[in-house]
Structure 1
C-alpha cells in the first residue's frame, strides 16, 4: 500500500489526500457538479431582487446555495416583477408550484453603500414568514446573499443554515503552501499564511476567530494558534520531536495535541493561549493520534493502533481507560464528532477503497457515505447536515461534499493547485 498505516499514525503528519476545487481570484471559474436530492424537497421561488443590477447577483447566490443543499426545488421566476411594497399574488405562485417565494430590493446610496431588503412569503398560508434589511458594500453583497439563504433555509426547514460559514484548507502551488479561508461555497478566498514549508492540520477555534495548525517553517513541525483578524500567532507546541494534530476544546481554552517528546505519538493537553500547563492524556505502548473533543468537552475521540490495527477510541479528558468505538473493519481513522454528539465520521478502508463512514454512537450502526476510492479528511458542517471531505476520482483531485444521510453529493474542482485537509468552520459571532 502506498500509504503505510504506521506512518499515518506515528507522525499524524502525512497528507492523506490532495484536491483542487476553488477559484483563487474573482475570475476563476468553479465547477460544481451535483447529484441526488434530499428526502424532501421544498418548492421555492427566488425572484431577482429589484432596484439595482446587483439584485440579480444576490438572487443567483441564494439559488445556488439552496440548490447545493439538495433540499429545495427551484421554481421558475421568469417574468416576475416583485418589490417590497407590492402585494404577493399567492394564487399565481401556487399555480406555478411554489410553496414559498423570496424576493427583495437593492438600493445603492449616495455613499456607494447598498441597502438590501428581503422578504419570504408562504403561499399556502398566504402570509409573510420573514423580512429583514441588510447594509453593506459591494464586497459584502455575497455575504449578505448567504445570510439571506441561511434565513430562508431555517424558516422553511427549522434547521440553522450554513451558507454564511467559512472553510479553511491548505493550497499547494509549486513550492509554496498557503493557508486559505473561503466562503462555504468556495468563493472569496483569503490567504492567512504563506510559506515555503508545509502547513498541515488546520483546526478552527469554536468561535471562528482563530486557527490552529502545524507549520514546518522552523525546520520541524510546530503547532501554532493564529488570530485571523490580526494575523498574530503563537507557538503552543514546540517540543522535541513531532508536534501535530491540534484540536480545540469546546470552550476554546484547551488544545489537544499529539507529541513524540516521550517516545511514540501520544496525546497531550495544553492551554490554547500560550501552550502552558502541559499534561499527558494517553499512555499506551503504541500510537495514539488524531484527537477530537466531544461537544460537551468531557472526552476525546482519537485514533490508535493499540489493538493491532488503527481504530477509534474514546477517553475522558481527565484520563483513564480508553474505550474502543469502532469494530467494523480493520482500518478506521480520523474521527470527527457531529455537533450534537450523536454521530461520528471516520475514514474506513473497505476492499482497498478509502471511504467516509458515519457511525451512530448510540446503536453502532454504520452508513457508508462515499464511494471512494480515496476519500479523506471529513469535516461536519456546523449544523451537522453536510460533510466536507477530500476526494480523488478519475485521477483528479477535488473537494467533495455529501449530505449526512448520503443522498446528496457534490464535487467542486478547478484545474490549478492542490488543496489539502479542508475543514468546515463554526458559526461566526455575527451569525
Structure 2
C-alpha cells in the first residue's frame, strides 16, 4: 500500500491528476448550478426578506438572489418566502414583525430608469432594536442584476454580523466536456458561468491574483504542462513558465508581484520563485526529493509546501526567500499522508487533504494550537480553497460517482454541494474580495 501511495503522490507531482476520473459531460453552457445545503447551525438569525416592489419588471428575481445568499451563509433563516411586498418608505411596525418571529426586516423597490437600466433600492431594519440600519441604492443594467443581489446580501451580512460578505466574490473551476476542457468563472453561488479558456487538453490548478483581475493556471495545450497568466477582462494571457519538464502549481504572493511555482527543469520537482511578468526565476528549495504545491502565508513571509522528504508527503514551511534563508519546518503530524496546503486569509488555519485508509479527506489545522479536525467524511476530496473571509473552504469531491464542488464552514457545521446536472466539475479556486 505504501508503494501505491508514493506512486500516486509522484503522479500528482507530475501534474497528471487531471487524467484521473474524468468523464464525458453534457453541455453546461445553458445549465445552472444546483445548490444543496445541509447541516446548518442550530441557531439561525430569523430575517424577513420581503419581495421587492415592482420586481416583475426584471428578468431575474433580486429578492430570490438575496434570500438564497443568506440561506447559503449558514447564519440566517428567512421567515418570509412568499410574494408579499412591504414599502421601503416610512417606519415598519416593529412590534408586528417581532410577533411574526423576525429579528430583522429587508424591504426593497425596483425602478426602471431607462432601457435595460434599473435602480434597486433596499433598506434593512433591526426589529429587535426598532431601528433602521440604512440600505443601498444600486443603479444597474439587466446584465448585472445578479451582482446587485449579491451586493445587497453582502451589505446585510456586514450590517448584522459585522463581517464582510463573500457573495460578490467569484469562483473559477474546470469543466470537461467530451474531449474538451473549459476553465470557467462564476459568481460565488456557482451561477452566471462565463468561459475564460477552452482547450482540447487538460487545464488544472487555477489560482487567483490578489486583485481578482487575473488567474494563473496550468495548461497542457502544448502536450506538456505550461503555466499561463490570464487577464480576465481582456482575455489576454501570457506564458509565465515554459521550462523543460513540468511547470505546475502556481501560487500568487499576497502583493501580487510574484508567484511560487513547481518545476522539474533540473530533475526532481522543486519550488521556484518568479516575478509576475515572468522574469527573475530562482530556485527556493534544493532537496533531493519532491517539493511542490507552494502557498504563500497571509503576510507573505513564508511559503507552505508539500514534500516527501520525510518519506511520505507532509506539509512544510520555509522562508519566502527560500529554505537557504530559513530551513524547512514540518507543520503536519496528525496523519501519515498529507497534500494540498491552503492557508486561510487571516493566516490562522491550514486546510489540506489527508489520506485516511485510502480515503482522501479535507482537514483543517489550527496553526496556533496544532489541533486538526476533519471537515468532511468524504473519500475523494481534493483542491481546497478558502473563501476571502476565511469562513468557508471550497473543494472538489465525488457525490454518487460524479465530481461536484462543495463548500464547508471552517467549524464543519454548514455544508453545501454545488453541481451542474450531468456535468463533472473540479479544480476549484475561490477568488478574493473585489474593491
* Paired position in structure 2 for 1:113: 117
Match of 1:50 among 48, 53, 58: 53
Question: Bigger CA drift: 11-20 or 151-160?
Answer: 11-20
Contact 1:20–1:414 at 8 Å: present in 2 too?
Answer: no
* Paired position in structure 1 for 2:306: 303
* Paired position in structure 2 for 1:221: 225
User: Displacement of 1:29 after TM fit?
Assistant: 4.5
C-alpha separation between the residues in 2 aligned to 1:21 and 1:385? Answer: 31
User: Displacement of 1:397 after TM fit?
Assistant: 1.9
- TM-score (ref. length: structure 2): 0.94
C-alpha separation between the residues in 2 aligned to 1:103 and 1:17? Answer: 47
C-alpha separation between the residues in 2 aligned to 1:147 and 1:17? Answer: 37
Please give the secondary structure, in 2, of the residue aligned with 1:264: coil
Contact 1:270–1:279 at 8 Å: present in 2 too?
Answer: yes
* Paired position in structure 1 for 2:173: 169
Flag the 1:125–1:141 CA change in 2: closer, same or farther, 3 A: same
C-alpha separation between the residues in 2 aligned to 1:165 and 1:19? Answer: 29
Flag the 1:219–1:25 CA change in 2: closer, same or farther, 3 A: closer
C-alpha separation between the residues in 1 aligned to 2:116 and 2:162? Answer: 35
**What is the CA deviation profile of residues 113-136 of structure 1, one whole-angstrom value per residue up to 9, with x for unaligned ones?**
000001000011111112110011
User: What are the ranges of 5 or more consecutive residues in structure 2 without an aligned counterpart?
Assistant: none
* Paired position in structure 2 for 1:88: 92
Flag the 1:318–1:110 CA change in 2: closer, same or farther, 3 A: closer
User: Displacement of 1:401 after TM fit?
Assistant: 1.1
Contact 1:9–1:288 at 8 Å: present in 2 too?
Answer: no
* Paired position in structure 2 for 1:324: 330
2:204 aligned with 1:200, yes or no? yes
Matches within 5 A, 1:187-336: 187-273=191-277, 275-320=278-323, 321-336=327-342
What is the Cα-based RMSD across aligned positions, in Å?
2.0
C-alpha separation between the residues in 1 aligned to 2:57 and 2:78? Answer: 20
Number of aligned residue pairs? 427
* Paired position in structure 2 for 1:31: 34
Question: Bigger CA drift: 334-343 or 152-161?
Answer: 152-161
User: Displacement of 1:6 after TM fit?
Assistant: 3.5
User: Displacement of 1:8 after TM fit?
Assistant: 3.6
User: Displacement of 1:394 after TM fit?
Assistant: 2.6
Contact 1:176–1:196 at 8 Å: present in 2 too?
Answer: yes
Contact 1:23–1:186 at 8 Å: present in 2 too?
Answer: no
2:76 aligned with 1:76, yes or no? no
C-alpha separation between the residues in 2 aligned to 1:87 and 1:347? Answer: 51
User: What are the ranges of 5 or more consecutive residues in structure 1 without an aligned counterpart?
Assistant: none
Flag the 1:214–1:296 CA change in 2: closer, same or farther, 3 A: same
Flag the 1:216–1:20 CA change in 2: closer, same or farther, 3 A: closer
2:139 aligned with 1:139, yes or no? no
